[in-house]
Copies of this chain bind each other. A is one copy, B any other.
Amino acid sequence: MAKAVGVGLIGLGTIGTGVAKVLSANAGVIEQRLGFPLRLVRVADLDTETDRGVDLSGIRFDSDAEGLIDDPEVEIVVELIGGYDVARRLVLRSIEAGKHIVTANKALLALHGAEIFGAALRRDVDVAFEASVAGGIPILRSIREGLVANRIECVRGIMNGTTNYVLTEMEETGEDFDVVVKRAQDLGYAEADPSFDLDGVDAAHKLTLLAAMAFGAELTFKEVPTEGIRGLAPVDFEAASELGDRIKLLGIAKCHIGDDGQERIEARVHPTLVPRRSLLAKVEGAMNAVAVDGDAVGPTLFYGAGAGELPTASAVVADLVEIAREIRRGGAGRVAPLSYVPEALRPLPLVPMGELWGRAYLRFTAVDRPGVLGHIAGVLGEHEIGIESVIQKGRGAATESVPVLVQTHPAREAAIRSALEEIDRLPDVTAPTRLVRIEEDA
C-alpha cells in the first residue's frame, strides 16, 4: 500500500472545519476507495483559539501559513481563507514550493486564474477547485470528464444559495426583500455584508469559471453582465405565479456560432422567470442546480447543496483524493483544469448584451390615471416591443402609484433598455421600471 498523502489546510473557518471533520470522520471509507490514507497533517489560521468543535489532536495547528507551505510533510495545500490578495500570494507561493493546490476560492480564480493556472503548469502541480462552483455538486468534473464528448451548447443554473433562499422565501411568505434578507442573515444564510451574493457577483464568478470550461474560453470575468435581486418586490412573485413561472437568479452562458464559424459567448447573471414545470424552478432554499446542454447528451442537470460546511467540504476532499491518487501515480496534469488543454484556450468575444433577444417581464410603477398604460404601450411599440399580456393590480386613488405588469413578446435587449429609459422619464411613471428576463426553455 502506498503511504499516506499529507494535507495542509490554510484557513479554519466554516469550510476548513468541515474539511477537517470529513477527513477525520470518513478516513476509513476514503482509504477503502483510494487504497491508501489521506491525512491532515497541519492547519494554519490566524485564530488558533476559537473552539471549532473538531478534534485536531495529533495535527500541528498554528498561525504559520508559510511554515505549512514549506513543511515537507505537506504535499497538498488547501487554501480556504477566501479573498484576493493574501490568498493569491499563498497559492502562488505554494505552487512555487511544488505543492498541489485545492481551493474553493472562485473570486480568486475568476480574477487571477490565468496567472495561477500558468504558474501551476510551469511547476507541474495541480490546482483543483471543484468546491468553488455550486458547493458539493460535482459539476466541474462532470463538465471536464463526464460530458467531455460533447460540444457544450449552454450552461445555466442557480449558482448562489443565498439569493435562492431569499427568492424562495419572498415567494412563499410574500414578505419584502429587506425583511427576508434580515432573516437570512439571522439564520446564517447571508453574510453581514451580503452584497457579493445579492448583487450577483458571486454567481458571476462561478459563471466565469463554468463558461471557460464549457467553451474553452479564456477567463473574462470583468465582462459578464451582472444584475442582482435587489428591487424585486412581492408583487413580482405574485405576477410570476400568475404567469406560471418562478423567479430565479440564473447564471447563463451559451455558445453562439456565427455563419462565418466565429464562436461568441453569451454570458449573463440576472433574475429570470423560469417556467414552473422546469427542474430549475423546483430548486428551493439554499440549494443549487446547474443545467448543461450538450450536443450529444442533450439536457442534463446537476443538483445539490451549493454552500455550507460539509457539502463544500465534500467537494474539497474529492479534489484531495484525486490529487493524492496522481501524486502516488507519479504526475500532475492528468486533466486540464479548465477542461481544454492550455494551448486550446482562446479569447472568445462576448455577445454584447444589447444584441440578445428574449421575452421580458416589466414592472412599471405609474400613477393610476387613464391613458398611462396607453403611453407605456406606445413607447414599447415605437421600439418594436410587442406586448403579450398585461396585469394591472388593484386601483388606488387617482394620485396613487400602482404597478403595471407587462410580459413582452421576444424583443431585442437594446430596444427594451431604450424603451425603459424613455418610459422612466414619463411624468406619470413614479419609480424606475423593474425588468426581469424570461428564460422559457430553462
Known: A26-B150, A298-B311, A334-B325. A318 touches B282 (CB 8 A): no
Interface membership of A410, Cβ < 8 A: no
Interface size on A, residues (CB 8 A): 62
Interface residues of A in 19-38 (CB under 8 A from B): 22, 25-26, 29-30, 32-35
Proximity bits, A298-331, B CB within 8 Å = 1, else 0: 1111111100101101111110111001000101
A290 CB to closest chain B CB (Å) equals 11
Known: A18-B296, A296-B26, A298-B305. A314 touches B35 (CB 8 A): no
Interface membership of A148, Cβ < 8 A: yes
Task: Please tell me if the beta carbons of B318 and A147 are within 8 angstroms of each other in the complex.
Answer: yes
A417 CB to closest chain B CB (Å) equals 34
**Cα–Cα distance between A72 and B143 once the two chains are bound (Å):** 32
Chain B residues with CB under 8 Å of A318's CB are 145-149
Interface membership of A367, Cβ < 8 A: no
- Selected from B301, B313, B321, B329, the residue in CB contact (under 8 A) with A148 is B321
A372 CB to closest chain B CB (Å) equals 40
Closest to A325 in B: B334
Chain B residues with CB under 8 Å of A340's CB are 32-33
Known: A296-B311, A329-B334. A22 touches B149 (CB 8 A): yes
Task: Please tell me if the beta carbons of B297 and A304 are within 8 angstroms of each other in the complex.
Answer: yes
Chain B residues with CB under 8 Å of A150's CB are 26, 29, 314
Closest 5 CB pairs of A and B: A138-B146, A149-B317, A32-B344, A136-B297, A300-B304
**Cα–Cα distance between A275 and B317 once the two chains are bound (Å):** 33
Chain B residues with CB under 8 Å of A26's CB are 149-151, 295-296
**Which of A33, A146, A344 has the most B CB atoms < 10 Å from its CB?**
A146
- Selected from B145, B282, B331, the residue in CB contact (under 8 A) with A138 is B145
Task: Please tell me if the beta carbons of B303 and A297 are within 8 angstroms of each other in the complex.
Answer: no
A298 CB to closest chain B CB (Å) equals 5
A44 CB to closest chain B CB (Å) equals 21
**Cα–Cα distance between A290 and B282 once the two chains are bound (Å):** 16
